[in-house]
Amino acid sequence: FVKGHRVIFLFVWVLAHILLFSLQFVQFALSDNAVIARSLLGGTYATARASALVLHVDAGLILFPICRNLITLLRSTPLNRVIPFDEHIGFHKLTGWSILFWTIVHVLAHYINFYRIAVSTSPNAVAFQSSTPLLTWLNLSFTQGPGWTGHGMLVGLALIIVFATQRFRSANFERFLGTHHTGLIIFFGLFSIHGAFCFIKNDRNPPCPNAASFYKYWLAGAAIYFLERCLREHRARRPAFVSKVVLHPSSVVEIQMEKTPALTRARAGQYIYLNCPEVSLWQWHPFTLTSAPEEEYFSVHVRVVGDFTREMAFKLGCGLNDEGKKTKKEIRKKEEKKERGEVIAANEEGVIPVSLLPRIVIDGPYGSASEDVFNYEVSLLVGAGIGVTPFASVLKSIWYRINYPTKPTRLRKVYFFWICRDKEVKCQPPPYLFMIVIHGSNRKFIQRPIHITQAFEWFQSLLLALEESDPPTSANNRDRLSSHFLEIRTYLTGVGKFRASDLHNLMLNTTDDADALTGLRSPTYYGRPNWDNVFEGISHRHPRTDVGAFYCGPRALEKELRRMCSAWSGKSVKEANQANGNGNVSNGGTKFFFNKENF
């Protein structure tokens, strides 16, 4: 979605909250059934009640965005063009911050209410007062039902928010999961009884007609979330059989697995959640499918960057050659393994070390932004670093559609931008492995081996195959590149790591047929892309066209691409023609729709 859609959605969200708060505030401020409460507490009475209603609504909504199966279903409907379902994680966070904001408003209002009761001389306040105003305030805040349940909810909310920040979540994902669910149980549990104490009564009977009504708001979300969790648990019992493991440069491990019945319906660009019980029973991490639906297997590429991925790579036999990058758990297990000895098996050539592959279970597939690539006539794909992985499946599917077309596709032009810092990172492949399956007390070999190989550039072979299947139609190099169905541009930003002699040799060895660095017919660009030139060029080539811009990578570039999509949508051709002194402005502008992977 372009920036305008996000702004409109956020505007509607904020406006709805303001209207909800205002209407409830006016109702309690003017109600003839709350005269005593208003005379005792003043305007903060209506503030506390109105903010409580907004909290009820937000708490009822916050579970829907994390129901992955529901989101996948809804994004396949026409509603996806109006509601940005791909931003469901962002909506979950937005709702969480909204809960925090209205909680602060609600708590401050009640603190002021308790103070006014403590210092009041009204007969209606005598029943709540202790010997001193301070003791009265402390008693109301921490010993009365609304007080201790409210502060308990604050503890639960603090557990949820603090450990969900990027710093704590990246440091220990299991701690994040534990505190998130613990805080959720505390917050929702106490919220269910928070309003049952009838602390502030109406003037007429019944005194508290809506006491403890929170369940009405979160019941639907809780029911759907419960079904979601049951479905996930059912899927978690389906093992995935690993058929091949590939160790790539830059600490990337490719895991190829046999297709399960559920994954036969997977589409290009979708993702799965992967769990390795031997590493962590509770950690489920999202990985984009890098295999095409037309292939006989499915695969994911895992970048080894944290404790979970490093331990899983270690279990798969892909221990890094840099001991300093190993975790303490890996080093300890390695020493224990040396003490008790390797598990080995003999063959005709001698003795070969054998590793027992860990059990891997999957949940999915789920829909993502990348699967919408084929819904546009023109698509711009931008992958930065490991962010190219979501596009591997899409590009492979494009290759199959070019070579083995089975049905017409709307897509007629693809621009693929690959931005990487380094061209080569050396790493050594681990030993050759055989897969072992244990049935009861029997251990037997599967006849196919598990290959662990090293790739110079894991994406390079795919891009070469795509270029070969898309032959040139013009003798001129510039025209030849622009006339292809797929136009690839590789940008190498880490130019400072090259010596002058290296760059000189690359320039000498680059020909019209192949780039010396990548082997592709498209040249390698050194430095960062000039996005204004890129978007202007696409606008000139495709006037009055909807262009889907798809991105996966660092947040800084995401902001720039969002800005570019917004700036160039609907005006590009006219302004470009005027800037070039061309009076022809009859063509309409190109519209860019920004899409980003969100897990």
Is the residue at 525 inside a domain? yes
The verdict on 12 and 120 lying in the same domain is: yes
Give the 3-state secondary structure of 414-482: EEEEEEECCCCCCCCCCCCEEEEEEECCEEEEEEEEECCCECCCCCHHHHHHHHHCCCCCCCCHHHHHH
Please tell me whether residues 435 and 288 are part of one structural domain: yes
Q: Provide the residue type at 135 as one letter.
A: L
- CATH of residue 561's domain is 3.40.50.80
Altogether, the residues listed in the chain come to a count of 599
- 135 and 250 in a single domain? The answer is no
Q: What pLDDT does 335 receive?
A: 44
Contact call for residues 539 and 590 (beta carbons, < 8 A): yes
Contacts of residue 366, defined as CB under 8 A and 6 or more positions apart, other chains included, come to 68, 69, 71, 72, 270, 271, 272, 273
What token pair was written down for 398? 């494009």
Q: Tell me what pLDDT residue 353 has.
A: 43
First to last CA, the chain: 16
- State the pLDDT at residue 124: 77
Same domain, 434 and 415: no
Q: What CATH number is attached to the domain comprising 322?
A: 2.40.30.10
DSSP calls for 242-278: EEEEEEETTTEEEEEEEPPGGGGG--TT-EEEEE-TT
Asked whether residue 179 is domain-assigned, the answer is no
What does each C-alpha distance from 195 to 25, 52, 563 come to in angstroms?
Answer: 18, 10, 45
> Into how many domains does the chain fold?
3
351 in Cβ contact with 329 (< 8 Å): no
- The strand pair at 413-420 and 378-384 is best described as parallel
Strands 378-384 and 285-288, by their bridges, are: unpaired
Residue 186 lies in a domain: no
Q: Which of 215, 233, 251 is the last residue of a domain?
A: 233
Reported confidence tier of residue 345, pLDDT bands at 50, 70, 90: very low
Per-chain mean pLDDT for the chain: 75
The CA distance from 517 to 526, in Å, is 11
The tokens for 7 are 């702004």
Q: Quick one: average pLDDT of 364-390?
A: 80
Range from 335-344, 466-475, 544-553 carrying the lowest mean pLDDT: 335-344
* Whole-angstrom distance, CA of residue 255 vs CA of residue 566: 38
Note whether residue 9 is domain-resident.
Answer: yes
* Paired tokens of 50: 């109105």
Instruction: Assess whether 419 and 431 both reside in one domain.
Output: no
- Any domain includes 309: yes
In a domain, 395, yes or no: yes
**296 shares its domain with 415:** no
Residues 256 and 136 in one domain: no
pLDDT digits (tens, 9 = 90+) for 94-128: 999 999 999 999 999 999 999 998 888 788 777 78
Confidence class for position 391, pLDDT limits 50, 70, 90: confident
Q: What is the CA radius of gyration of the chain?
A: 30
CA–centroid distance for 52 within its chain? 30
Together in a domain, 415 and 314: no
Q: Provide the pLDDT confidence category of residue 343 given band limits of 50, 70 and 90.
A: very low
Asked whether the predicted pLDDT for residue 375 surpasses 50, the reply is yes
pLDDT band at 46 (very low <50, low <70, confident <90, very high): very high
Give a yes or no: residue 580 inside a domain.
yes
The verdict on 438 and 579 lying in the same domain is: no
Q: Record the tokens describing residue 230, joined without a space.
A: 């049951």
3-state SS string for 269-280: CCEEEEECCCCC
- For residues 313 and 386, state if they share a domain: no
Q: Are residues 532 and 547 in the same domain?
A: yes
Collect all residues with Cβ–Cβ distance below 8 Å to 400 and sequence separation of at least 6. 292, 294
Task: Mean pLDDT check: name the lowest of 44-53, 210-219, 332-341.
Answer: 332-341
Q: Give the dihedral of Cα atoms 235, 237, 242, 245; nearest 10 deg.
A: 70
- Within a domain: residue 151? no
Of 415, 450, 485, the residue that ends a domain is: 450
3-class SS at 105? helix
The pLDDT, as a whole number, for residue 231 is 85
**Tens of pLDDT, residues 494-537:** 655 555 555 555 555 555 566 656 666 677 777 888 888 888 88
CA distances from 41 to 38, 54, 109, 139, 146 (A): 5, 20, 10, 17, 16
pLDDT: which is higher, 199 or 561: 561
Q: 474: how many CB neighbours lie within 10 A of its CB? A: 12
Q: What is the pLDDT of residues 354-363, one digit of tens each?
A: 456 788 888 8
Measured CA to CA, the distance from residue 288 to residue 270 in angstroms comes to 6
pLDDT recorded at residue 182: 93
The model's pLDDT over 248-279, given as tens digits with 9 standing for 90+, comes to 766 778 888 888 776 777 788 788 888 888 88
Closest CA to 86 of 552, 542, 540, 461: 552
Between 114 and 411, the higher pLDDT residue = 114
Question: What is the Cα 176 distance to its own chain's centre?
Answer: 16
For the cut 50, the answer to whether the pLDDT of residue 444 exceeds it is no
Are 446 and 530 in a shared domain? no
> How much is the pLDDT for 453?
36
DSSP 386-399: GGGHHHHHHHHHHH
Measured between alpha carbons, how far is 511 from 508 in angstroms, rounded to an integer? 8
How many Å apart are CA 375 and CA 384, to the nearest integer? 23
In this structure, are residues 361 and 240 in contact, taking their beta carbons and an 8 Å threshold? yes
- pLDDT of residue 430 exceeding 50, the answer is no
Spatial distance between the Cα atoms of 549 and 408, rounded to a whole number of angstroms: 21
Whole-prediction pTM value? Answer: 0.67
Q: What is the pLDDT of residue 519?
A: 63
Could you list the residue range(s) of the whole structural domain that residue 260 is in? 236-367+426-450
